């Protein structure tokens, strides 16, 4: 209806998950919080949800609903009619039903009017709905930027006050939501809106503190430039690894922690940097559970930043053979673009080095002398003893 290609369609039925499983041998039931049926056709999985009902006065013991003290839904296996299911949907634009019986769209929550008004609005009382599932605040941001809409005033009002409820969301689920926010071609707009509503603090609290101290500084420029570059690559159908995004988002907390450890424990900067990496990634995992394959990638990017000025001998060539070198080189360029003037010459050297053939690269390394590498040891002079005159 908006002229965009839908990512997917939700399939919904009035059959319970158990009834769906009886109909399809290739079906398996998943989920505790929301019971769903996965019907497998080769590599394709059709996810089927049963229409949800209201929680009040449920007589069926097999239908389970459970909420936390903050109002967050922990179990939601209560089934009902299509009208009840529409009321249970989060946003009015998500409560449009396309029937394969008559090929018509059914609108139970004024979703068509919301589309025409270009507004993202919650169904029901916004505060109650956000408390049921705080991730809806992140979804509101993502839908607004993706569909070029605004969040309706009534739905927007409680977000800042309720932003801290995201702390109750499992870190693994937040990782998936962060990927949706930052890998959809609208990363910069999502980042700015998350900051506006105070949602970014629950995702990256240490970076948020740094940005609050100096909102117009190098750190803010670095992060915004990173998201701009990410959007350009995704919109050009180029690959973006989450490892690079998390390496950038945790870079300044890492530097701050390394300086602190170096002063407190009187370590070399290299050792302090290594300790800081472990602590920053460990603390971040309490908020967002980043899989190890991406944290290892972020570590490699950080490590290579420490070695980029060590170019003498075979070091430059060996560094370019590292799997994450290209990402680390892009990371250096990002630092320079954000305002790290002290690394301009280093970035220019690597850019020229990568454009040369093998002979050109060897010549560039020769002209460095012993810059960035260990100085050759001087051979001790042999003592010569004069023979006594006869």
Neighbours of 286 (CB within 10 A): 10
For residue 109, the 8-state DSSP code is: S
Neighbours of 373 (CB within 10 A): 17
Instruction: Sort strands 119-120 and 150-151 into parallel, antiparallel or unpaired.
Output: parallel
- The Cα diameter of the chain in Å comes to 124
Considering the candidates 76, 85, 90, 300, report the single residue annotated as catalytic.
90
Considering the candidates 10, 60, 148, 271, report the single residue annotated as catalytic.
10
* 26, 41 Cβ separation under 8 angstroms: yes
**Residue 38, strand partner residues:** 28, 47
What is the token pair recorded at 152? 């309706």
Neighbours of 70 (CB within 10 A): 12
**C-alpha to C-alpha distance for 321 and 385, rounded to whole angstroms:** 51
Phi, psi of 36 (to 5 degrees): -130, 155
State which H helix or E strand residue 200 sits in. helix 200-203
Considering the candidates 8, 102, 216, 237, report the single residue annotated as catalytic.
8
Residue 208: active-site member: no
Residue 102: active-site member: no
Residue 85: active-site member: no
3-state secondary structure of 332: helix
**C-alpha to C-alpha distance for 388 and 390, rounded to whole angstroms:** 6
Of 300, 301, 308, residue with least CA distance to 346: 308
Neighbours of 76 (CB within 10 A): 21
Active-site annotation, residues: 8, 10, 90
């Amino acid at each position: 209806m908006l002229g965009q290609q839908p990512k997917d369609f939700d399939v919904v039925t009035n059959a319970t998950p158990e009834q769906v499983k009886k109909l399809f041998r290739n079906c398996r039931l998943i989920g505790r919080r929301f019971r769903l049926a996965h019907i497998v056709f080769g590599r394709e999985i059709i996810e089927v949800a049963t229409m949800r009902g209201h929680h009040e006065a449920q007589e069926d013991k097999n239908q389970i609903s459970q909420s936390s003290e903050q109002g967050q839904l922990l179990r939601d296996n209560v089934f009902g009619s299509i009208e009840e299911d529409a009321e249970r949907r989060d946003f009015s634009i998500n409560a449009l039903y396309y029937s394969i019986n008559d090929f018509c769209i059914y609108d139970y929550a004024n979703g068509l009017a919301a589309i025409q008004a270009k507004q993202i609005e919650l169904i029901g009382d916004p505060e109650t709905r956000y408390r049921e599932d705080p991730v809806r605040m992140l979804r509101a941001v993502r839908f607004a930027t993706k569909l070029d809409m605004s969040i309706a005033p009534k739905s927007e009002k409680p977000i800042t006050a309720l932003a801290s409820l995201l702390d109750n969301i499992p870190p693994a689920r937040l990782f998936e939501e962060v990927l949706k926010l930052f890998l959809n071609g609208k990363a910069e707009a999502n980042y700015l809106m998350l900051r506006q509503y105070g949602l970014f603090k629950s995702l990256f609290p240490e970076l948020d503190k740094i940005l609050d101290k100096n909102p117009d500084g190098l750190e803010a420029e670095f992060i915004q430039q990173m998201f701009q570059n990410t959007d350009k690559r995704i919109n050009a159908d180029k690959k973006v690894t989450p490892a690079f995004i998390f390496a950038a988002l945790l870079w300044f907390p890492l530097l701050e922690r390394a300086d602190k450890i170096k002063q407190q424990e009187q370590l070399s900067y290299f050792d302090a940097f290594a300790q800081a990496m472990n602590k920053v990634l460990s603390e971040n995992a309490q908020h967002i559970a980043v899989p190890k394959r991406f944290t290892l990638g972020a570590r490699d990017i950080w490590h290579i930043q420490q070695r980029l000025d060590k170019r003498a001998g075979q070091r430059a060539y060996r560094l370019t053979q590292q799997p994450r070198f290209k990402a680390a080189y892009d990371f250096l360029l990002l630092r320079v673009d954000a305002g790290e003037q002290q690394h301009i010459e280093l970035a220019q050297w690597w850019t020229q080095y990568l454009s040369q053939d093998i002979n050109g690269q060897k010549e560039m390394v020769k002209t460095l002398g012993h810059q960035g590498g260990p100085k050759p040891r001087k051979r001790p002079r042999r003592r010569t003893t004069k023979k006594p005159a006869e």
